[in-house]
Each structure stands twice: as structure tokens, then as C-alpha cells.
Amino acid sequence: MKYFEFDKHGYWAMVAAEDEDKAIEVYVEEVAGESIKEIEEEGEPTEITREQALNRYIESSISVAGYLTIEEITKEFNERKNTTLLIDSSLT
């Protein structure tokens, strides 16, 4: 799995996907955007390392659901594929 941060777009999101094309598709379906073309025109997502993505996911999960252990959060992170991991708080 690869990890992408949509940081040049209308709404920030972090997506786990098999490749950049799938990440853009997931962003359009789950976050925002009228079309894949529109999102591509806004700019490419930034690929980040698994470690960066996991650290952000853990930090966010602890702040929202503090009762989960790091092991539980990591297990949940590892199970998520081709989906949005984190999303702009204005959309929740």
C-alpha cells in the first residue's frame, strides 16, 4: 500500500491506495471533487512514507478515541486499503 496526502486541494485528506491513480479516485469518491480530471488539475497528491502516514494516523486516533491502544490503532491502519485514512475536520 502507498500513502498520499492531498495537501494542494480544496480539502486535506490522507489516502491509502495501491497507486496515485487509485488515490485520486478514492479522493473523488470519498472526499471531494466533481471528477478525477478536476482533482488532477489542482495538483498531484504528495506521496508520504508508511511511517509518516502511520504516525499521523496514530496521533489523530489517540486525540479522537483515546481509549484505543497503539497496537489496536496500528492493526486498524494496516487493514485499511484503497480508502481515506484521515480527512479535513471541516468535512466530519
14-72 tens-digit pLDDT: 999 999 999 999 999 999 888 899 998 889 999 999 999 999 999 998 877 777 899 99
pLDDT of amino acid 27: 96
Task: Please state, in angstroms and rounded to a whole number, the distance separating the CA atoms of residues 7 and 48.
Answer: 11
Is residue 13 over pLDDT 70?
yes
Domain boundaries, the chain: 2-91
- Of 13, 35, 15, nearest in space to 90 by CA: 13
- Listed in sequence order, the DSSP H helices in 2-69 are 20-30, 36-42, 50-64
Q: What is the tens place of the pLDDT at every residue in 75-90?
A: 999 999 999 999 987 7
Q: Residues 6 or more apart from 67 whose CB is under 8 A from it?
A: none
